[in-house]
Amino acid sequence: MYALVINCGSSSLKFALIETKNRQTVISGTAEQLNTPEATITFKHEGKNTESLTDGTHAGAFRAVFDYLQSRDLAGEVIAVGHRVVHGGEYFQKSVEITPEVIEIIKRCAPLAPIHNPANLTGILAAQEVFPTLPHVAVFDTAFHQTMPEEAYLYALPYELYEDFNIRRYGFHGSSHRYITERTAEILDIPLDKINLISCHLGNGASVTAVKEGKSVDTSMGLTPLEGLMMGTRSGSIDPGLVPYLVERLNYDIYELDHLLNFKSGLLGISGVSNDCRTLELKANEGDKRCQLALDMFAYRVAKTVASYLPALQKLDAIVFTGGIGENSSYVRELIMEQLAFLGYAFSRPSNEHCVRGTEGVIATSSAFGKALVVCTDEEGMIVQDTLEIIGKKA
């Protein structure tokens, strides 16, 4: 039996067919440039194959996935579909089976994630059209962070803005941070309800989460995924006074400003070259000072955020690196750990360089602050786990 995992973006649809018993991915792929004449779909199954989509909509892409599964006699073996949904507001503290009421709440949360939630909903509706009799489960990026206390999630704004408009910090990458928490507790042989760690999900989108006794108590992203760390193309936190200043000086409207902060800033904006860490490392090694500056800024902001979470935890068992950069860039990890040397970490460069391309391990130790580890995240695995638990309880 299989579960189908869907992660739908505004112009893309990622999917993975996962065997429910051993949690192994059998088929995966991505539909890209949807709603354009250049729409394609790539299947990774006994090789890699890319095809043009005659129907380049999300529904057309999902039908192409169904046809591919059906041609291999696998469509009838799918027992449930799990969907990544970015924003669940304060409505969801855990994953839920998708009902008409849940769909309405996802729509209600769309203003909090205008790029993501409508796309997630498009994927849900497309999947329900192709698999109308199967259970569909929503797994929310925000759910893991619903355990944050008020002093962590409230903004210092008039309280009525929270009461009337739900303006607060929500956090994201919840499935990844939750998986990292459970996996690290397993690796270190610490009960889940006892472990304190700082999880660094570093990729094109990046966030850091403080986990106390197995629960999120603070995280770097806020109302939207723009707050917090410098990222691939996102600025991260800035002085709010910069907004009216840029509007006045550049004559930007709010949409141009939003595009600047979300798509033209971060590693890309500083380097002027790329948002890809691998490219920046190559260029920096060749002497490109702006690429080096981008990497230094990124590492400094991660280290600063990690250190800022120590008061919330008091006791620290582990700092954990994950995500595309966190799992694969030994250079960026070393830059970060250099900034955290004041915590007494004994850093192992050989161990650090060994932990790439799916290799987990300890890269530093401290007598007072535990270990620094690289752990490979599995957001799809968490979606499958939640999906199977929910349909199991229903059965």
CATH of the domain at 113: 3.30.420.40
Residues 224, 373 within the same domain: yes
- Please check whether residue 182 lies inside any domain of the structure: no
- Is residue 364 domain-shared with residue 221, that is, in the same domain? yes
Residues 61 and 126 in one domain: yes
Residue 395 has pLDDT above 60, yes or no: no
| Structural domain boundaries, residue 66 | 2-140
Q: Is residue 180 part of a domain?
A: no
Whether the pLDDT of residue 392 is over 90: the answer is no
370 is in an annotated binding site: no
What local confidence, expressed as pLDDT, does residue 9 receive?
A: 84
Question: β-strand 318-322 against 370-374: which pairing, if any?
Answer: parallel
Q: Residue 313: pLDDT above 80?
A: yes
Is residue 213 domain-shared with residue 320, that is, in the same domain?
A: yes
The widest CA-to-CA distance across the chain, in whole angstroms, is 60
The pTM (predicted TM-score) of the whole model is 0.93
Ligand-binding annotation for 83, yes or no, is: no
Structure tokens at 268: 């890309």
- CA–CA distance, 352 with 111 (Å, rounded to integer): 41
Please indicate if the annotation marks 63 as binding a ligand: no
Tokens coding 74: 């696998």
Which of 98, 124, 140 is the endpoint of a domain?
A: 140
Percent of the chain with pLDDT over 70: 99
Report the SS3 class of residue 186. Answer: helix
Asked whether residue 237 is domain-assigned, the answer is: no
Does 296 map to a domain? yes
Measured distance CA(220)–CA(169) in Å, rounded: 9
Which DSSP string corresponds to 117-132?
Answer: HHHHHHHHHHHHHHST
Structure-block tokens of residue 85: 């949904």
Q: What is the pLDDT of residue 55?
A: 94
Section 330-341 average pLDDT: 98
- pLDDT over 80 at 355, yes or no: yes
Task: Judge if 124 and 219 occupy the same domain.
Answer: no
Question: Residue 204 annotated as binding?
Answer: yes
Distance CA(379)–CA(140), nearest Å, equals 11
Q: If you compute the radius of gyration of the chain from its CA atoms, what whole number of angstroms results? A: 21
Predicted pLDDT at 374: 98
Average pLDDT of the chain to the nearest whole number: 95
Decide if 246 is inside a domain: no
Kindly indicate the confidence band of residue 394, based on its pLDDT and cuts at 50, 70 and 90: low
pLDDT score of 28: 96
Q: What pLDDT was estimated at residue 10?
A: 81
7 is in an annotated binding site: yes
> What is the DSSP secondary structure assignment for residue 112, as one 8-state letter?
G
Please state the domain count of the chain. Answer: 2
In a domain, residue 206? The reply is yes
How many Å apart are CA 279 and CA 261, to the nearest integer? 21
- Same domain, yes or no: 227 and 364: yes
Residue 77 annotated as part of some ligand binding site? no
Interval 159-168 mean pLDDT: 96
Confirm or deny that 129 is annotated as ligand binding.
no
Asked, for residue 307, whether it belongs to a domain, the answer is: yes
At 57-115, the pLDDT tens digits run 988 999 999 999 999 999 999 999 999 999 999 999 999 999 999 999 999 999 888 88
pLDDT of 111 = 86
Which tens digits make up the pLDDT trace of 240-286?
999 999 999 999 999 999 999 999 999 999 999 999 999 999 999 99
Active-site amino acid positions: 141
Do 60 and 135 belong to one domain? yes
Among residues 255, 253, 10, the alpha carbon closest in space to that of 121 is found at 10
